[in-house]
Chains A and B, each alone.
Chain A
Amino acid sequence: MRITCTVNGRPQVADSVWAGESLLYVLRERLGLPGSKNACEQGECGSCSVYLDGTLVCACLVLGGQADGREIVTVEGLSNGDSLHPVQQAFVEAGAVQCGFCTPGLVVATHDLLRRVPRPSDAQIREALAGNICRCTGYAKIIDAVHLAAGRMGAA
């Protein structure tokens, strides 16, 4: 089947999609957007987090056909050309990235948190990022990065 959707503001068409294919597979394998990572395919790790019609979801749990006609924003859609989004910049500067596999999902989930809660507490950050697993950093620097981004975005 064919899926037509808007990804990062651009109309996209994916052809010969199998009916059981996830949005994650469509994004990575059909549309050439490898930013969203595939680690567990069962909603546990959050590394495939994207916006679907403005809502944070795990792309691996959305059936491709469910995204037909919808608007998707992936991590690739957050930066402004070559200049990183303040959330991305903060992750780099705070040392919140080691292997980087979890980073795209955490960046999107942090972006979602900060548009709802501009100055989150540690507890609110932990709650909001509970569905994003990182096996490298131990989370302390991720929490630093969220505070750093929140401070800069609030000041801007």
Chain B
Amino acid sequence: MEFLQPTSWPEALTMKAAHPEAMPIAGGTDVMVEVNLDRHRPAAIIDLTRVAELTEWGGEGDLLRIGSGVTYARIIDELGDRLPGLAMASRTVGSPQIRNRGTVGGNLGSASPAGDAHPPLLAMDALVELASVHGSRRLPVSEFFIGPKRNAARPEELIAAFLIHPASGPQQFSKVGTRNAMVIAVCSFALALDPKRRRIGTGIGSAAPTPVTAADAERFMAGVLEEAGLWERPSEVDASAIARFGELVAAAARPIDDVRGTAAYRRHALSVLARRSFTWAWLEYQRSA
């Protein structure tokens, strides 16, 4: 196994171009499990932890651009106020040791349907920035996940960053698991109220071959709020509308039965999570208005 250790972003891209088969490693919290248990022995490995550019974040126009190597611990500490949904999800990842090391870029790289960063990124229609020696491109995170544990990066590409709007309203993330830490989600749900863009965003984890949005639910609820002028004058949202929202979220999932739960349970749990998340977020919006 060859060990490559670039110290700058251009060098990392050059190495990836020369060794397209090489496996990148950031926090190593997915990669090392594979290597230690001998599930996968890559021919070469590229350590990205010396590439300072990947650990930086800053503003770009209306968006935040966050390097793929920023850890969950830093998302919570440094960006919790601007990205409350992603920070909530980050707090549920593993343990302190895992959050100190694991990165959102690594979560995207693994592209697990259960990756906890994915639902909040979907709910805020984040962009993923991929780069190679030939240049860089940005694609909506919904197009980034192309199958179970498969993403749209080409062999010569690395994940540079993700771009996301700072929250303009309340956000929520909930996850069903057997204990309060160190669990893979049975299913998870992220919600973003975006009063600035008059948008409702959703993200569903662990209930389809890839993380997905619930587009019908988003349109339905945005319509309800628009029609009654509730963004401007927030009052209570009708319980039947919230119930319908939950049903539409559940309908967007394509769950399977597995060791962690049945498809029917996942659908039911998602409708509950969606209703609760909306209720919590809307209460917060009403209070802040």
Using a CB–CB cutoff of 8 Å, the interface residues on chain A facing chain B are 1, 18-20, 22, 41-44, 46, 49, 55-58, 60-63, 65-66, 68, 109, 112, 127-128, 130-132
Contacts and interface: CB of A to CB of B under 8 A. Distances in A.
A56 B27 CA distance: 13
A130 B29 contact: no
Contacts of A66: 25, 28, 47, 49
B101 A42 contact: no
Contacts of A130: 95-96, 180-182
A38 B100 CA distance: 20
Nearest to A132: B95
A39 to B, nearest CB: 12
5 contacts: A19-B45, A42-B36, A61-B27, A63-B35, A65-B47
B114 to A, nearest CB: 15
Interface in B1-33: 1-3, 5, 25, 27-29, 31-33
A43 B3 contact: no
Smallest CB-CB A-B distances: 4 pairs: A131-B95, A130-B181, A19-B3, A41-B36
Contact of B97 (A41, A65, A68, A131): A131
A97 B94 CA distance: 24
A62 B2 CA distance: 16
Interface size class of B (residues with CB under 8 A): 20 to 34
B26 to A, nearest CB: 10
A93 B24 CA distance: 45
B36 to A, nearest CB: 4
Nearest to A48: B97
A111 to B, nearest CB: 12
Contacts of B254: none
A20 B37 contact: no
A109 B98 CA distance: 12
Nearest to B180: A130
B41 interface: yes
Contact of B181 (A61, A109, A131): A131
B100 A62 contact: no
Nearest to A68: B5
A125 to B, nearest CB: 12
Contacts of B35: 20, 22, 63
Interface in B31-66: 31-33, 35-37, 41, 45, 47, 49
Interface centre among A19, A22, A109 (most CB of B within 10 A): A19
Nearest to B33: A42
A44 B1 CA distance: 25
A43 B101 CA distance: 11
A48 to B, nearest CB: 9
Nearest to B34: A42
